[in-house]
């Protein structure tokens, strides 16, 4: 396929956005998907990074997030923003306060029974390594077998990929045919128009990798021709706040996105990010995240979340990119070095980073879902894993392997006759077989405080035909530990759970019969005593 050459960088590029902005205006006025559960921030709250704010997670048993947050915080603190869907509030904090005061403030907030956590509103960055501006040829589509995949499908417009980023130039000649009719949403200026600032190329480049006009004689070829939602949550410098990213993920899920691309990250773990990703996963969304560009063995959040496919970057020869983060959380690898895609100002450029690798996976996921629309989120994730190619890297570098579009389309995920989510499952024989999978985790809790201490874990079923699951807890001899479970992937609490073993001292055990695709989550809570505990799980299949 012949590609157009790059435009003259001296040209004076102008935008004719009037026809598209008519749609954007109607989004802002009419509301795209109805109520989003995101409350409007106070007018004085600046867009972008928000270092002087604390995020407060509110229990699902509380009726009003804002009211509970106001009750929990000291009288001189302001609640400046709330998200009812993923249940957190944002509290302003004086910028000149010492670190000790911030720690004491968080301790005071978390003493409330209605508060599950409190954490800083961390700054999240795009994960980009910029490179030469124009291109001679592409290699990523060829490297992952896109030509083979395109013989079957170039991607369906019914499959929606949400790009949470700097915003996509949605009138770019290479992208305007792929933009969803609803365009997207803006979490930076809150003006309803997710158009990027001139030179803020990251989101446009990422979106163009995942989905851009293929074989249309214009610009470059994206991995798929699926629909794109432009969700602007990073500013022109490629940074944004944890709360804005969380709101953007929740909005994307409510907007019906099938795939959310997260080419951004932060070093560390944050409960608000966990809640946002779990919210989307619970609604059947596949989340894809960039591992990070520090070249170390630590995968950034949100890629490190259990609900997110963590993607590392490889070179054109399938060697690991020197900048790519690696680690046990890596699930797939994808080309991420010197990828050609769209840029603002109707331009094209080469960029490198795990930011570029993630949308390659998102695009392949879009192709697979276009070819096999009955795939559930978990089935789609497993299909990408099972069709990935072992390119000779370690598990920490490539996970299940380098993503392969050709294999993902040519391999029938329902070759066993299962037929996907829409087909009825065969009747169970009622007897458990010999297939057994075990898992364990250990940590330390301190239940000496009046409220105690908790840890949470997630587990997805792995046996071919799940039959039963047993979860056992062993705590320190002097303690009193509780175990709470949910079977639908929702967050368990002492007030909201499906099964529990509580008040049983230092040991607890729960056994459940299985007949479906449950996704389990556990809360281990220490009522008294302190020390190391062990959580063991045994899953049996027929």
As annotated, the active-site residues are 165, 202, 355
For 478, other C-beta atoms within 10 Å of its C-beta total 12
SS3 content of the chain, % helix, strand, coil (to 5): 20, 30, 50
Quick check: 356 and 205 in contact, CB under 8 A?
Answer: yes
**How far is Cα 284 from Cα 377, in angstroms, rounded to an integer?**
5
Residue 81 CB burial class (10 angstroms; 0-12, 13-18, ≥19):
buried
Residue 284 CB burial class (10 angstroms; 0-12, 13-18, ≥19):
middle
CA dihedral 480, 486, 491, 496 (to 10 degrees): -70
Residue 35 CB burial class (10 angstroms; 0-12, 13-18, ≥19):
exposed
DSSP string, 467-513: EEEEEEEE--TT-EEEEEEESBSPPP-SSS-SEEE-S-TTEEEEEEE
Quick check: 259 and 274 in contact, CB under 8 A?
Answer: no
**How far is Cα 337 from Cα 354, in angstroms, rounded to an integer?**
8
Query: 127 is written with which tokens?
Result: 């994960």
Using only the alpha carbons of the chain, give its radius of gyration.
Answer: 24
Quick check: 333 and 399 in contact, CB under 8 A?
Answer: yes
Residues with Cβ within 8 Å of 506's Cβ and at least 6 positions away in sequence, in order, are 474, 475, 476, 477, 478, 479, 480, 481, 529
Phi/psi-derived region of residue 237, left when phi > 0, alpha when psi is between -120 and 50, beta in every other case: alpha
Taking Cα atoms as reference points, which of 528, 520, 477, 521 lies closest to residue 502? Answer: 528
Residue 516 CB burial class (10 angstroms; 0-12, 13-18, ≥19):
exposed
Quick check: 457 and 522 in contact, CB under 8 A?
Answer: yes
Beta bridge partners of 528: 480
Phi/psi-derived region of residue 86, left when phi > 0, alpha when psi is between -120 and 50, beta in every other case: alpha
């Amino acid at each position: 396929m012949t590609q157009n050459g790059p435009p003259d960088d001296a040209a004076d590029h102008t935008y004719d956005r009037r026809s598209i902005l008519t749609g954007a205006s109607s989004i802002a006025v009419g509301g795209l998907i109805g109520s989003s559960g995101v409350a409007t921030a106070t007018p004085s709250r600046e867009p972008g990074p928000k270092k002087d704010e604390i995020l407060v997670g509110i229990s699902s048993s509380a009726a009003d997030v804002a009211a509970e947050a106001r009750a929990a915080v000291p009288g001189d603190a302001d609640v400046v923003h709330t998200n009812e869907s993923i249940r957190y509030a944002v509290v302003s904090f004086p910028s000149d306060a010492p670190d000790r005061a911030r720690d004491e403030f968080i301790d005071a907030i978390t003493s409330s029974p209605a508060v599950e956590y409190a954490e800083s509103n961390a700054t999240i960055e795009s994960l980009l390594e910029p490179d030469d501006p124009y291109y001679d040829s592409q290699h990523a589509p060829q490297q992952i077998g896109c030509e083979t995949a395109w013989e079957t499908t170039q991607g369906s417009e019914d499959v929606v990929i949400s790009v949470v980023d700097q915003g996509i130039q949605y009138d770019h000649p290479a992208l305007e045919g792929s933009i969803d009719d609803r365009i997207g949403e803006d979490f930076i200026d809150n003006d309803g128009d997710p158009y990027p600032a001139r030179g803020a190329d990251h989101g446009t480049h990422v979106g163009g990798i995942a989905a851009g006009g293929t074989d249309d004689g214009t610009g470059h070829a994206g991995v798929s021709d699926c629909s794109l939602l432009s969700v602007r949550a990073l500013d022109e410098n490629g940074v944004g706040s944890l709360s804005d990213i969380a709101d953007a993920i929740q909005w994307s899920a409510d907007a019906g996105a099938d795939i959310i691309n997260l080419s951004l990250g932060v070093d560390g773990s944050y409960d608000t990010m966990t809640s946002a990703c779990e919210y989307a996963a619970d609604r059947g969304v596949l989340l894809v995240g960039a591992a990070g560009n520090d070249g170390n063995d630590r995968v950034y959040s949100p890629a490190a979340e259990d609900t997110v496919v963590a993607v590392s970057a490889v070179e054109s020869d399938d060697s690991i990119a020197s900048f790519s983060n690696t680690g046990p959380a890596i699930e797939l690898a994808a080309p991420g070095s010197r990828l050609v895609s769209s840029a603002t100002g109707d331009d094209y450029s080469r960029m490198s980073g795990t930011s570029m690798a993630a949308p390659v996976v998102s695009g392949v996921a879009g192709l697979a879902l276009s070819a096999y629309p009955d795939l559930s989120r978990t089935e789609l994730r497993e299909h990408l894993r099972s069709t990935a190619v072992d390119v000779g890297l370690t598990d920490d570098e490539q996970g299940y392997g380098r993503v392969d579009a050709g294999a993902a389309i040519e391999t029938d995920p329902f070759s066993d006759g299962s037929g996907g989510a829409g087909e009825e499952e065969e009747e169970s024989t009622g007897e458990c077989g010999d297939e057994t999978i075990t898992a364990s985790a250990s940590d330390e809790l301190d239940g000496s405080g009046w409220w105690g201490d908790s840890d949470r874990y997630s587990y997805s079923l792995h046996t071919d035909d799940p039959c039963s699951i047993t979860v056992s807890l062993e705590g320190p001899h002097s303690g009193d530990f509780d175990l709470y479970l949910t079977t639908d992937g929702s967050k368990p609490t002492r007030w909201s759970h499906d099964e529990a073993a509580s008040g049983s001292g230092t040991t607890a055990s729960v056994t459940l019969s299985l007949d479906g695709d449950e996704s389990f989550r556990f809360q281990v809570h220490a009522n008294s005593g302190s020390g190391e505990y062990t959580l063991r799980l045994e899953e049996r299949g027929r």
